[in-house]
Amino acid sequence: MVRTIDSDRIAAHTGRDLLSAMPLLMLDLDNTLIDRDAAFRAAVAAFLAEHRLPDTDLTWVMNIDAGGCTAREEVAAALTGRYRDAAPREAVHALLDRGAADRVALTDSSREALERARADGWTCVIVTNGRTAQQEAKTGHAGFDRLVRGWVISEAVSRKKPDPEIFHAAANTVGMSLTGAWVIGDSPHADIAGANALGLRSVWVSNGQLWVQDSHCPTHVAEDVATAIGYAIGAAG
């Protein structure tokens, strides 16, 4: 979905000309703004306990899921094939459709960083790969409608990061160009390669990982999204 929030709800500024003059900050959702893996892990643990399945299967399910990169259909097939009658198909689908979305949370530091960016005149837009219903549920549960200008979801625009068109869609939905924009995300391929292809500056949220790509690199590396937002604001100031 392409979603634009009423600017009166998130900033004191009014008028299209003023909005267009603001710098654009495009942020990834899963494992950048929110800890999607932690939310999904908690959902899987509850699922296993509810159906009296081995808690040692938690690692297996997380490996199958691969941080949300495995297609939903493949994960569903793996779980239904393993558990058969022990866990109804409907329960598996509920886990994959709502499990993580119902448990995501925005940290205080991330919320404060977004509020600071807004106060400094930045226009923040979420750019996320995923299914519309699931990603919309996450943004709503975490309260992003009060913190960002809008969001663009890959399923809705039929383009996935790092395709340049999804970044153009994000800029278009708030009436801006990509000139001077920043990209913040945890994926070297989807976020950082996508930014590089458009000549945009970027901050890679490492989440404790090491950068190992040779073909491209981010403008900066940060441990978490709050630090990443702070760096972008400072570098552009």
Q: Residue 10: pLDDT above 60?
A: no
CB 97 within 8 A of CB 134: yes
Closest C-alpha to 135, from 65, 24, 62, 36? 36
Measured CA angle at 110 (ends 139, 136), to 5 deg: 5
How high is the mean pLDDT of the chain?
91
pTM for the model stands at 0.89
Per-residue pLDDT of 151-168, as tens digits, reads 999 999 999 999 999 999
Of the candidate ranges 6-15, 54-63, 138-147, the one whose mean pLDDT is the lowest: 6-15
pLDDT at position 236 is 75
pLDDT in tens, 136-147: 999 999 999 999
- List the domain boundaries for the chain: 2-35+106-236, 36-99
- Element (H or E) spanning 22, and its range? none
Q: Is the pLDDT of residue 18 over 70?
A: no
Angle at 87 between CA 85 and CA 89, to 5 degrees: 90
Could you tell me the end-to-end alpha-carbon distance of the chain, in angstroms, rounded to an integer?
31
Residue 61 has pLDDT above 70, yes or no: yes
Give the span between the Cα atoms of 194 and 170, in whole angstroms.
Answer: 13
**Total count of residues recorded for the chain:** 237
Q: What is 2-35+106-236's CATH number? A: 3.40.50.1000
DSSP three-state, residue 184: strand
